[in-house]
Amino acid sequence: DVKVTQSSRYLVKRTGEKVFLECVQDMDHENMFWYRQDPGLGLRLIYFSYDVKMKEKGDIPEGYSVSREKKERFSLILESASTNQTSMYLCASSTNPPGTLGGYTFGSGTRLTVV
Amino acid sequence: GESVGLHLPTLSVQEGDNSIINCAYSNSASDYFIWYKQESGKGPQFIIDIRSNMDKRQGQRVTVLLNKTVKHLSLQIAATQPGDSAVYFCAEVSNDYKLSFGAGTTVTVRA
């Protein structure tokens, strides 16, 4: 069964900490995405990547950065965590172009709380 | 900017009845749409997809209808079961492969 795996289900971090959220996919997908999900706002795109070492800003990139050193791994970095970054973070991957194998595949999410 | 939205934030349905979840989109250039189901504490799970050159697509107990004239998408669930209780999202895929989601519809199945 194909998978997108996020390393942590729950994280609690302090304001100002540097936070790393890891995502690994085993489907050899070209595209990987990071979303955050907040009540009433749905899923919003933070960053995405079409290939190794490339990245593109999504709709809400402020306060975040990403790293894609290997095709299967896409990391989201909170340079200095703030309380307004408390959220559910979802990683996804897709083929290029999407539309085969059910489109996008999501991980189970990481619920981050910044205190 | 472009947006994808769902008509109703909540839907309550009797077990065994059919459910219809609606979605309006605004980007007429989108050519691929996906419905997702998200259960509490889990990531979105693919249900069914449809391309813009189709009007209807059926899966197991689910049917997606696409009306390009009015930019409307719907998901029909036949014989709704308690396990269908979840939040349902429609999403459209843009030319650069990004997904745009609506806020979601919470479906509650009454026994």
CATH number (domain holding residue A19): 2.60.40.10
Do B99 and B92 meet the contact criterion of CB atoms below 8 Å apart? Answer: yes
Range of the domain at B43: 4-110
| Residue A43 forms contact with B (CB below 8 Å) | yes
Is the CB of A103 less than 8 angstroms away from the CB of B45? no
Q: Is the pLDDT of residue B3 over 50?
A: no
Range of the domain at A71: 4-114
Tokens of A28: 């050899």
Number of domains in chain A: 1
Point out the residues of chain A with pLDDT beneath 70: 1-2, 96-103
Q: Is the pLDDT of residue B2 over 70?
A: no
**Where is pLDDT greater, at B31 or B76?**
B76
CATH number at residue B75: 2.60.40.10
Instruction: For residues A82 and A113, give the distance between their C-alpha atoms in angstroms, rounded to a whole number.
Output: 9
Rounded percentage of chain B residues whose pLDDT exceeds 70: 94
| Residue B32 forms contact with A (CB below 8 Å) | yes
Is the CB of B98 less than 8 angstroms away from the CB of A96? no
Query: Which amino acid would we find at residue B5?
Result: G
Instruction: For residues B108 and B111, give the distance between their C-alpha atoms in angstroms, rounded to a whole number.
Output: 10
Do B110 and B12 meet the contact criterion of CB atoms below 8 Å apart? Answer: yes
Instruction: For residues B57 and B66, give the distance between their C-alpha atoms in angstroms, rounded to a whole number.
Output: 9
* Residue indicated by tokens 């709704």: B80
Quick one: closest CA in B to A6, which residue?
Answer: B43
Three-state SS at A35: strand
Q: Is the pLDDT of residue B1 over 50?
A: no
Number of domains in chain B: 1
**How does DSSP classify residue A18?**
-
B15 Cα to chain A: minimum distance (Å): 26
Q: How far apart are the first and last CA of chain A?
A: 36
Tokens of A11: 């994280």
Three-state SS at B63: strand
Q: pLDDT tens, B74-95? A: 999 999 999 999 999 998 887 7
pLDDT at A68: 97
Instruction: For residues B27 and B33, give the distance between their C-alpha atoms in angstroms, rounded to a whole number.
Output: 11
